[in-house]
Amino acid sequence: MNANLTTDRPTFVTHLECSMTGERYDADTVHGLSRVGRPLLVRYDLDAVRANLPRPMLEARPTDLWRWRELLPVRRTDNVVSLGEIETPLIPIPKSAGGGNVLIKDEGRLPTGSFKARGLVMAVAMAKELGITRIAMPTNGNAGAALAAYASRVGIETIVFCPEDTPEVNVREIAMQGARVYRVNGLIDDCGAIVGKGAAEGRWFDLSTLKEPYRIEGKKTMGLELAAQLGWQLPDAIFYPTGGGTGLIGMWKAFDELERLGWIGAKRPRMYAVQASGCAPIVRAFEAGEDHAERWEDAHTVAAGIRVPRAVGDFLILRAVRDSGGKAVGVGDPAILKAVEECARADGLLLCPEGGATLAAYREALRTGEVDEDERVVLFNCATGLKYPMPEAPNWLDRHGSIDFDAL
Ligand SMILES: *Cc1c(COP(=O)(O)O)cnc(C)c1O
C-alpha cells in the first residue's frame, strides 16, 4: 500500500484563524464560519514543519495528495480516506493555445472526475476525525459527487441539494455513490439556504464551500503540487475558473506556506479569476474596485461549476487577485464552447466548460497583450470533459447497403 497512507506522521496544526479579523479559534473542535460569518483558515507551526520535513524527504515520497501530510490538518492516519488522489498532469496544448507557453493542469483525472475530490477528501477526513455523522451540502454537481463518494466510504450520511437544472449525470452519480440527493427550484445559494436552515436546527453539519475550514486545505494541494511539478518555480500566471474561489484562495495560501518553508521565493504568479460573463460577480467587484461582491442576479452559463452568484470568500479572492497583479475576467458562453471544441479537435484534450473558460480567457489575454507569448502559464481544467453534454455525432452507415468509401 502507498506509504503516504500508512505511516503515522506528526501533524503541525496550531490553531484556526478568522480570515477577516485574525481572531484565533482552537483546532480539534468542530467549526463552521467565524463569529463574523467569514471563512476560517488553518494555521500550522511552519518552523516545526521545516525542521521535520526536509524537502528531499518530501520529494522521495509517492507523488499523491497525501504526500503533503505535514501541511494538512488530519491528525490520525486512521482518519485518512482515499480513492487514489493522484498528482494531476500538466499537459501542453500547443495548437489551441494560440502560440503561447501554456500547460493545462488536468484535474479531471482525480477520483469522481473533478478537483472537488481534493477539497472533499480533506473535509470528509476531518469530519470523521471530529466525529461528525451527518453532512448536508449544496452543489452544482461535482462537489456533491465527491462528497457522496468519500462520505459513503467512511460511513457518514449525506444529504445533497442541487439546482434543478444540474446536469443529469451529476445528480445520478451523487445518488449512485450513496447520498440522498434533491433537485431544488433555485440556484446554488438557494440550496445553501436550505442547508443552513437544517444546520441551524441541528439536523446536520453544513459542508458548504468555505463554510467549514478544511476544503480549502485540500484544494491548497493544487498550489503545493504545482510548485513541486515545476521544480519549485511558480508559473508567471495562473488562470482559474472561479465559482466559490476555494481553489484560488487555497493556492494563494499554499504559496505563502511554501515561501515560509523556504521552498520557493517571493515571486508569485499573476492570478486570473475567470468567470462566465453570465455570472461574474467577482469581475464586477474587481472592476469597481470593491472589496466585496454583490449577488449576481439571473445567473446563467453553460459552465455550471462557476455559476455561483455569491461567494462567502469574495474578499479573499479579490485580495489574492489584486496582490498578485492579476485580474478578474469574464468570458461568454460562445467563447467557452469554442475553446472546448478547438482544444479537443486540435490537441486531443477534452476540457470541461469551466476549463474551456480559462482557455478562452487566456487567448483573449494573449490577444490584448495582458500575457506575453513566452510567459509560462497554467490553466486549470477542473473536471473531465466526459461528464458534460457534447455536440451530436449523427453519421450513420447501413452495412447492408453499398458503401461509398471515398466519401467516408
Ligand atoms: C467547483 C468547480 C469550479 C469552481 O471551483 P471553486 O474553487 O469553487 O471556485 C470550477 N470548475 C468545475 C468543473 C467545478 O466543479
For ligand 1, the distance from its centroid to the CA atom of residue 380, given in whole angstroms, is: 10
Round to whole Å and give the CA distance between 287 and 327. Answer: 9
CA distances from 345 to 339, 342, 373, 403 (A): 10, 5, 22, 26
Residue 191 near ligand 1, beta carbon < 6 Å: no
Return the ligand 1 atom nearest residue 107 CA: 13
For ligand 1, the distance from its centroid to the CA atom of residue 57, given in whole angstroms, is: 32
pLDDT greater than 70 at residue 297: yes
CA nearest ligand 1 atom 12, residue: 305
Diameter over CA atoms, the chain: 77
CA distances from 314 to 23, 142, 238, 254, 381 (A): 19, 21, 18, 18, 21
- Which are the contacts of 110, defined by CB distance < 8 A and separation ≥ 6? 85, 86, 88, 117, 118
Using an 8 Å Cβ cutoff, are 143 and 171 in contact? no
For ligand 1, the distance from its centroid to the CA atom of residue 55, given in whole angstroms, is: 30
Candidates 272, 273, 274, 270; CA nearest to 235 is: 270
pLDDT value at position 8?
76
pLDDT greater than 70 at residue 33: yes
H or E segment and range at residue 150: helix 142-154
Q: Count Cβ atoms below 10 Å from residue 374 Cβ, excluding itself.
A: 9
Residue 273 near ligand 1, beta carbon < 6 Å: no
pLDDT value at position 2?
75
Q: Look over the chain and give the mean of its residue pLDDT values, rounded to a whole number.
A: 95
CA nearest ligand 1 atom 2, residue: 305
Residue 98 near ligand 1, beta carbon < 6 Å: no
Return the ligand 1 atom nearest residue 246 CA: 7
Q: Give tens-digit pLDDT for 223-234.
A: 999 999 999 999
For ligand 1, the distance from its centroid to the CA atom of residue 50, given in whole angstroms, is: 31
Using an 8 Å Cβ cutoff, are 166 and 304 in contact? yes
- Kindly indicate the confidence band of residue 1, based on its pLDDT and cuts at 50, 70 and 90: low
Using an 8 Å Cβ cutoff, are 303 and 167 in contact? no
CA distances from 318 to 202, 311, 323 (A): 33, 11, 8
Residue 246 near ligand 1, beta carbon < 6 Å: yes
For ligand 1, the distance from its centroid to the CA atom of residue 389, given in whole angstroms, is: 17
Q: Give tens-digit pLDDT for 90-128.
A: 999 999 998 778 999 999 999 999 999 999 999 999 999
Give residue for cell 511558480.
234
